A and B are shown apart, each in its own frame.
Chain A
Amino acid sequence: MFVQTFPITRGDFDTAGEASSKIKNMLKKLGISPRIVREVAITAYEMELNLVIHSLGGELKLEVRPKSIELTAKDNGPGIEDIKLALKEGYSTASESVRNMGFGAGMGLPNVVRHCHNFHIESELNKGTLIIAGYSLDEKED
């Protein structure tokens, strides 16, 4: 099993995307199919951006097993008030400055759901959020 954890800093837009870029390159080197690499990269990027934009800081973890890949985003708060609403396309609590950078269209979490095989989310206000996106490597690959 291959595991790597990347600490993500709140509001650090200069390095936002670096962890996802590393994840993408690691998966390529491990010989994962290009289709899965692309899906995981998109998910990782959305998760990383969410941590930068919305969390107080946290980490993004990649786990690669023989038959599955798991991405975990874990943060130290502030927690999501209404998960159902956060999963709705177009709903966003991002600031104007974040929107000016091209983010905060309310597509992040729905996009994570769309680009993974299994999705899990749990969140507690003032504690934090845990999001897991899983991929099965069992499928016939292109």
Chain B
Amino acid sequence: MKVSEVARILNAKILCCEHRLHEEVTSAFGADMMSDVLAFMNEHTLLLTGLVNPHVIRTAEMLELRAIVFVRGKEVPEEILERAKEQEIVLLATDKTLYTSCGLLYATGLPECRRK
């Protein structure tokens, strides 16, 4: 699924790196613990999280993620946007909860991320 399609389904605001909306994600993972994200995700996975801090971007950088969805209408500070731009990671923000966001994406056929 293209990241642009994720944004449409979640009625999400595109916060940065619009030029990479064509990137494909093949699975998704929802978590607020970055330790779990590091354990479960691969580079083609979409991360959905309610945690908003610079460590989210650092974690995404290590995993080479293409896109992150911040859920529950969280404000995303400029510092985080700047870091994401440096890494060319698309940031999306939705007012929907983590549960609803994951449910909507799952219903369209985007599967969970399977651990290697």
By a beta-carbon cutoff of 8 Å, the part of chain A in contact with chain B is 13, 16-17, 20-21, 24, 38, 41-42, 44-46, 89, 99, 101-108, 110-111, 114
Contact (A110, B39) CB under 8 Å given A102-B32, A102-B53, A105-B33:
yes
How many A-B residue pairs lie within 8 Å, measured between CB atoms? Answer: 65
Interchain Cβ contacts under 8 Å between A and B, 25 examples: A17-B62, A20-B62, A21-B58, A21-B61, A21-B62, A24-B62, A38-B62, A42-B62, A45-B62, A89-B39, A101-B34, A101-B53, A102-B33, A102-B51, A102-B59, A105-B35, A106-B35, A107-B35, A107-B36, A107-B38, A108-B35, A110-B39, A111-B35, A111-B39, A114-B116
By a beta-carbon cutoff of 8 Å, the part of chain B in contact with chain A is 32-39, 43, 51, 53, 55-56, 58-59, 61-64, 116
Contact (A42, B61) CB under 8 Å given A13-B55, A102-B56:
no
Main secondary structure on chain A at its contact with chain B?
helix
Residue from B43, B55, B116 within 8 A of A16 (CB atoms): B55
Contact (A45, B58) CB under 8 Å given A102-B53, A111-B39:
yes
Contacts of A42 in B (CB 8 A): 38, 62-63
**Closest 9 A/B residue pairs (Cβ):** A105-B35, A17-B58, A102-B34, A107-B35, A107-B39, A105-B33, A45-B62, A41-B62, A102-B51
Contacts of B43 in A (CB 8 A): 38
Contacts of B38 in A (CB 8 A): 42, 45-46, 107, 111
Residue from B34, B63, B64, B116 within 8 A of A103 (CB atoms): B34
Cα(A89)–Cα(B51), bound, Å: 22
**7 further A-B pairs in the complex, CB-CB below 8 A; given A102-B32, A102-B55:** A20-B62, A101-B34, A102-B53, A103-B35, A105-B33, A105-B35, A111-B39
Contacts of A44 in B (CB 8 A): 62
Cα(A93)–Cα(B61), bound, Å: 26
Cα(A110)–Cα(B116), bound, Å: 13
